[in-house]
Amino acid sequence: MKDYIFNIHDVVLLMTAAECLLLSIFQQVLPIRDRNYGRLLTAFLLIVAIASACTLILWNDQFEVAPLFGQVLLPYFLFGALMLKGPAFYLFVSALTQQNMRLQRRHAIHLLPALAVILYLFIFDLSSDDLRRISVAGQGFPARLVDLVWDLSTVVPLAYAVAAVLLLHRYRSELEDEYSHFSTTELDWLNILTYGVLISWGWTLMVHVLAKYTSVETADLLGIADNYVAFILINAFFAYSLSYAHQLLATQPQQSREPSEEEPSESAIDKVRHAMEVEKIYLKKNLNLEQFSSRIELPPKEVSAVINKHFGTNFFEYVNSYRVEAAKALLADPDKANMTVLDVLLESGFNSKSAFHRFFSRLVGMSPTEYRKQELAKHSQE
């Protein structure tokens, strides 16, 4: 009986595939939430599992599989998975950051890179030996044909990782257009993971390029490091989906939050100003654009147009600037000298100590405590 011998690096690939399968099953038994990012995470995990398993079979000669699968079908499974992991990751991030995001026909465009590569494999009838550059009976394909398919399998996922990073930058801007307060912890962790994927897939591309100019041993070592990073990222993404993903705030669909192209009317400007200066609506904690618009009976688009075009800022900055002014008045009032800074920030509409200190220091140029000392000292000299 023949024994299969795996080195530790093969075990990492095997563990990645097995863990992805187990995590995808576990993901399905979790309580169903409003957004479908869980299903997209499951798809991403299954795709990574297929890619890891096929990579192991392709490069490990000790795996004995049926020739039909090993030589003919394996390239289709491998490169189909490699080309789909980028779109799956991008759509996962999209579902995390967009309210009620659902897969639609327009999303089918993300299948095109995978279909193109599968068609390429079919037209040139590339086998596993061809992909490994093993000539059989003197029949080998030009290296450029094989290089192209490997090039695409590294460039396309990296392009989607870049798109995901840009999506998160846009998401932060959208949060500032819709919310007066939001926690940055969940978003920061998602940023770290997304940049981790970008670095990992960038490393894959670098390994692919360096393999053409370095020794086989060096290329193998670089590729092995890539496998370890992928294993760590899979665990990190699943942990994030359990701990933080459900806490992210969802933004409205793009068409409902884009400001009107028309210049805001004077009546709309007066309504917004009246709500802030007379009604002091900014004192409401966790105020968002939808609540603000409902309160003054204007469409969100029109409120956005007033804040963005007339006042030249976003909702987050606009509301919190009023809160800072309210806090300054409380801190400078000798009769309120016994109020703690925590009491001041809560009474001003803030609900986060870190956000209050960060925003106050940025707008005023000093901490709340320093500002209070300065203003009370002025009063004592009068």
Is residue 4 pLDDT above 50, yes or no?
no
Is residue 33 pLDDT above 70, yes or no?
no
Are residues 201 and 346 both part of a single domain? no
Answer yes or no: is 256 within a domain.
Answer: no
Q: Please report which residue ranges of the chain form alpha helices under DSSP H.
A: 8-29, 37-59, 67, 74-97, 112-124, 128-131, 143-178, 185-210, 216-243, 254-257, 266-277, 289-296, 300-305, 315-332, 341-347, 353-364, 368-381
Which of 330, 319, 323 has the alpha carbon at shortest distance from 371?
330
Domain-ending residue, one of 247, 270, 302: 247
Q: Can you give the CATH number for the domain in which 298 is found?
A: 1.10.10.60
Mean pLDDT within 329-356: 88
Is residue 206 pLDDT above 80, yes or no?
yes
Are residues 282 and 226 both part of a single domain? no
Between 99-103, 144-148, 290-294, 305-309, the lowest mean confidence (pLDDT) is in 99-103
Cα 333 to Cα 320: distance, rounded to the nearest angstrom: 20
Are residues 175 and 236 both part of a single domain? yes
Question: Is-contact 224 207, C-beta < 8 A?
Answer: no
Is residue 160 pLDDT above 90, yes or no?
yes
Are residues 283 and 232 both part of a single domain? no
Structural domain total, the chain = 2
Answer yes or no: is 44 within a domain.
Answer: yes
Q: Can you give the CATH number for the domain in which 175 is found?
A: 1.20.1070.10
Cα distances from 254 to residues 165, 186, 239, 309, in angstroms, run 18, 22, 29, 18
Cα distances from 153 to residues 21, 212, 275, 329, in angstroms, run 22, 16, 54, 59
Are residues 65 and 201 both part of a single domain? yes
Are residues 328 and 201 both part of a single domain? no
Are residues 103 and 17 both part of a single domain? yes
Task: Give tens-digit pLDDT for 75-127.
Answer: 999 999 999 999 999 999 988 887 677 788 889 999 999 999 999 999 988 88
For residue 64, the enclosing domain spans: 8-247
- Bridge partners (DSSP) listed for residue 98: 251
Residue type at 223? G
pLDDT over 70, % of the chain: 85
Are residues 179 and 291 both part of a single domain? no
Per-residue confidence (pLDDT) for residue 35, from 0 to 100: 56
Mean pLDDT within 276-297: 88
Is residue 304 pLDDT above 80, yes or no?
yes
**pTM, to two decimals:** 0.77
Answer yes or no: is 255 within a domain.
Answer: no
- Residue 288, classed as helix, strand or coil, is strand
Domain-ending residue, one of 247, 279, 296: 247
Answer yes or no: is 56 within a domain.
Answer: yes
Domain-ending residue, one of 247, 278, 300: 247
